Structure 1
Amino acid sequence: MLRATLRTVTLTEAIAATISYAVVAVILMVDVIGREVFYTSFLGLQQLAVYGAIIAGFLGLTLAASDNAHLRPALLDRLTPPRLEQLVQRLGDVVSAAFFFSGAWICWSFVAHSMDSGDRAPVLYFLLWPLQLVIPYAFASAGLKHLIFAADPALKPAASETMG
C-alpha cells in the first residue's frame, strides 16, 4: 500500500511538473516570437511563465524527496557505526518529515493570510492564493514521503553517489 501511494503521488507530481515546464516553454516561445517576428508583446506572459516555473520548482522539491536526491552533508555518515546505520537513517527521515510538516504549516499560514487579504498578481490581477497552494503542498508531500521512508526503508531509493 505504501509503495502504491508513493508511486501514484510521485507520478502525478512528475506529470504536473512536466506540464508546468512545458507551459513555461510555450509561453516564453510565444512571447519571443511575438516580439521578434510580429513586433508585439503580450501583457503578462512573462509573469505567467514565472508562476509556472515556481509551480514546477516546488514540485521538483517533492520529486527530489521521492528520489532521495536532496543535497545533504555526508560528514556524519562516516561517524555512524554500521550497526546503527539503519536506525540513524530512519531517525533522519523522521526529523526530515517533522521539518517538512513544520514548513507546510508555516506556508499554509502564509497562503491563508494571502486568502484573507485578497492578494492579487501584479499586471494580471488574479488571486494569488490558488497558485500559492503548491508551496504548502510541496512541503507536506515531502514530509509524507519521508514518513513513508521511515516506516518502510526498503521504499527509499539509494542515495546517488554523485550527491555525497
Structure 2
Amino acid sequence: MDFIRKVSAAAHTLAGIILGVMFLSMIANIIDRKLGVSMIWVEELSGYGAVWATYLGIAFVLSENRHVRVDILTRKLSPGGQELMRFLGDLACVVFSALITWKGLYLIWSSYISGRHTPFLEIPIYLLQIVLPVGMFLFGLVALMDAVRYIKRLKMRENAS
C-alpha cells in the first residue's frame, strides 16, 4: 500500500511540473504575441498538459482525502453511517476507474491503429492518451486501498468487542 502512495505522490509531482511548464509556456506565448510572433503549439500543449495534470493528480488527491465531496446528506448520518457511505463511494470509484481504464486502453489502441497525430506538434495521439488509463488505474488502486482499510477497521472493532 505504501508503494501505491509513493507512485501517486510521484504522479502528483509530475502533474505539478506539467502545470509549471504550461504556465511558463503561456507567459512566453503572451510575450511573443506582443512582439508579433505566435507560438500556436502552446495552446495545444496546454490542452494536453491540463489533461495530463488532471489524471496524474487525481490518485494523490484521493489518497490525501482532498477531493471535492458533496456531504449534504452524509453529514446527517451517524459516524458509522458516514464511514459506510465513504466505503460505498470507494467501491463506486473502483468500479468507475476500472471501466475508464478499460475504455482508455481501447481508446489508445484505436488511436494507435488509426495513426492519428496532433495538428501542430505532430505527436501520436495514443502517446498523449496513455495518461487516461494510467491515472484512472492509480485512482482505482487508491480507492481500493481505502476500501480495504475500512474493512480492516471494521474487523478490528468486531474483534475488540
Q: TM-score range by the shorter chain?
A: 0.7 to 0.9
Aligned pairs (5 A) from 1:84-103: 85-103=82-100
What aligned pairs does 1:7-86 form with structure 2 within 5 A after superposition? 7-37=5-35, 39-78=36-75, 80=77, 82-83=79-80, 85-86=82-83
Normalized against structure 2, the TM-score is what?
0.81
Deviation of residue 123 (structure 1)?
2.3
Look up the equivalent residue of 1:56 and give its one-letter code. Answer: A
Alignment check: 8 A CA contact 2:25 2:42 kept:
yes
**What is the alpha-carbon distance in structure 2 between the residues aligned to residue 83 and residue 17 of structure 1?**
35
Percent of aligned pairs with the same residue?
A: 27
TM-score by length of 1: 0.79
Of 64-73 and 105-114, more deviation after overlay is shown by 64-73
By how many angstroms is 1:68 displaced? Answer: 2.3
Distance in 1, matches of 2:105 and 2:28, equals 34
Does residue 131 in structure 1 map to residue 122 in structure 2? Answer: no
Distance (whole Å) between structure 1 residues aligned to residue 88 and residue 44 of structure 2: 41
Deviations 1:9-56 (A, max 9, x none): 22201211111001101111221111213x222341221122112211
Cα separation, 1, equivalents of 2:86 and 2:39: 50
AA in 1 matched with 2:49: G
Unmatched runs of 5 consecutive residues or more in structure 1:
155-164
Find the counterpart in structure 2 of residue 157 from structure 1.
none
| Larger proportion of helix | 2
TM-aligned CA deviation for residue 87 of structure 1: 4.2
Residue range with higher mean Cα deviation, 143-152 or 62-71: 62-71
Which residue identity is paired with 2:19?
Y
